[in-house]
Structure 1
């Protein structure tokens, strides 16, 4: 859309037309996302790369460039309208705030790349060089949108994250601490603070075969649209210097993003009489693309492991 005029009436008509287009983009985007959900493609890059790609294409056509050419100012307008589109589709689809926040970085990254594509095209046109080279960028983005659709276009999904902590206590003291009631109402890393803490932790003894239950309550809209779920964690193997757990069930909000498989905890006595505790968390990544969700989830799991070590494995702290 390239209407440009100083006539107020013309600008009003142009703004109305743009607003209609924005509403159409929100509606069509919502239908496309609903279709991906219905056909079980909502965990693939079709949703997290393909949808932003289509939205960016539509907005770069619909949003009118300012009369005084300024690519930076134009990009600001596109970002504003893209945020409106994202929030509009989120309301229609009843998405929670965590999903929206996690989606924002990749959404705006695709938008920026498409904006960069437009800048390259204009530059190559101005310099009379072959602008077809710039089209490599959207082709790469479009191809990457099919990650996860088939096993042949998927990357490694099994992950293990390990964290260690030196504790000034014996192995016996640490295991006695683990048998105490667990409380995790503590200050957390900025990413972890987006997610709700467990509301209840039902823990039995620290014996092999015990099953612990962890309850979660997630208010998708801060105070309403509530989702309740739980995790069931079995103590599969318990020894003097080693504990292995297995997640039997996960109906919490976390289960939408990844599949927690289990943990391994090892204890090693060090020279000063303390203990080196090593916690390894095994999980399966659901979401694509791997280049975004892989590092994000690995960071989040690593921060969670570090939090658990510092809060649950240090005697007299929890």
Structure 2
């Protein structure tokens, strides 16, 4: 049996103290219902890992990186989805740097070939440090669906406003991405408002997305986002959306939804495709709320 070193015990104590402090803060802020999931669970996992002695260099790197990610998830609470999205990139960088350090130690007289990727890593990592150092943060997604209804029936359904649905796209379920619990508002005329309310306590995350019809025409309506206090605003900033529908023949109608948004996470080469996939899933979910499959 491998003995547990004093450093592991100290790390265990610090992690436990960290978790206890955040647990008390979470409960006092009125979010006791989510304290077990977002504080206790990652803290217990991190504490358990801290008592596991590292057997290899990469094993130690993986263990310490995982502990850091779990504690970051505790600090971010419901924003832990950002940690989940970033985790593969963090692991890749940590193990990549470890490989370079090991290679330099093994060939100290020829370090240049080993260090060539380092400048590329540094350049890719500074994106987003300054608001001006961003690559195409303005993005959009577009999804379409053909429903077995006439255009006038679709228009009547859309005018009634979105309705909450119990199921989510698989990618939203897998990552635990929140979706609206309550929806208020209807209408397709300029000035009509739709409000998407997310779950949350009086003191905790949740928030609303308030939209307003800014322009309407034959088979088309454009919404502007007036207010976005939803938890999803931590990683994406919604700007506007356009909803269109037209006859697709045989009594069917094609419905198209376009959402323009500002990516909230960098670097673009990593988070751009991820957020695009999640926004596609979110747009599909909104269509589920507006039209039957």
- Taking structure 2 as the reference length, the TM-score comes to 0.75
Quick check: 248-257 or 131-140, which moved more? 131-140
Alignment of 1:159-178 (within 5 A): 159-178=139-158
SS in 2 for 1:198: coil
Q: How does 1:122-133 map to 2 (within 5 A)?
A: 125=107, 130-133=110-113
User: 1:272 — aligned with what?
Assistant: 250
| Rounded Cα–Cα distance in structure 2 between residues aligned with 1:284 and 1:89 | 24
Shift of residue 104, structure 1, vs aligned partner: 1.7
State which of 206, 210, 232 in structure 2 corresponds to 1:254. Answer: 232
> 1:207, 1:235 within 8 Å by CA — same for their partners in 2?
yes
- Partner of residue 244 from structure 1, selected from 199, 218, 222: 222
Contact kept? 2:161, 2:290, Cα under 8 Å:
no
Structure-2 change in CA distance of 1:22 and 1:149 (3 Å): farther
Alpha-carbon distance, 1:217 to partner: 1.9
Match of 1:138 in 2: 118
In the alignment, structure 2 segments of 5+ residues that lack a partner are: 18-51
The TM-score normalised by the length of structure 1 is: 0.70
Q: Out of 258, 276, 285, which is 1:307 matched to?
A: 285
Q: Which residue in 2 is equivalent to 1:209?
A: 191
Q: RMSD across aligned C-alpha pairs, in angstroms?
A: 3.2
Q: 1:87 aligned to 2:70? A: yes
- Residue 90 of structure 2: aligned partner: 107
Query: Within 5 Å, which residues of 2 pair with 1:1-318?
Result: 15-17=5-7, 66=55, 73-91=56-74, 96-121=79-104, 125=107, 130-150=110-130, 153-180=133-160, 182-193=162-173, 194-218=176-200, 226-314=204-292
Cα distance 1:110–1:103, how it changes in 2: closer, same or farther (>3 A)?
same
Structure 1, residues 193-241: CA drift from partner, whole Å, max 9, x if none?
Answer: 212221211113232211111111248xxxx983131111011122221
Cα displacement (A) at 1:278: 1.5
Which string of whole-angstrom CA distances, capped at 9 and with x for unpartnered residues, describes residues 251-306 of structure 1? 11111212111111222212323112221111111221111221111111111212
- Deviation of 1:82 after TM superposition, in Å, equals 1.6
Structure 1 unaligned regions, length at least 5 = 1-7, 28-62, 67-72
Residue by residue over 1:78-103, the C-alpha shift from the partner in whole angstroms, topping out at 9 and shown as x without a partner, is 21222112223443565643233223
**How many angstroms apart in 1 are the aligned matches of 2:225 and 2:200?**
20
Instruction: For 1:162 and 1:94, locate their aligned partners in 2 and report how far apart those are by CA, in whole Å.
Output: 31
Say which is worse superposed, 276-285 or 302-311, in terms of deviation: 302-311
Partner of 2:38: none
Corresponding residue SS for 2:199: strand
Comparing 186-195 with 290-299, which one deviates more in the overlay? 186-195
Which of structure 1's runs of 4+ aligned residues deviate more than 6 A?
A: 21-25
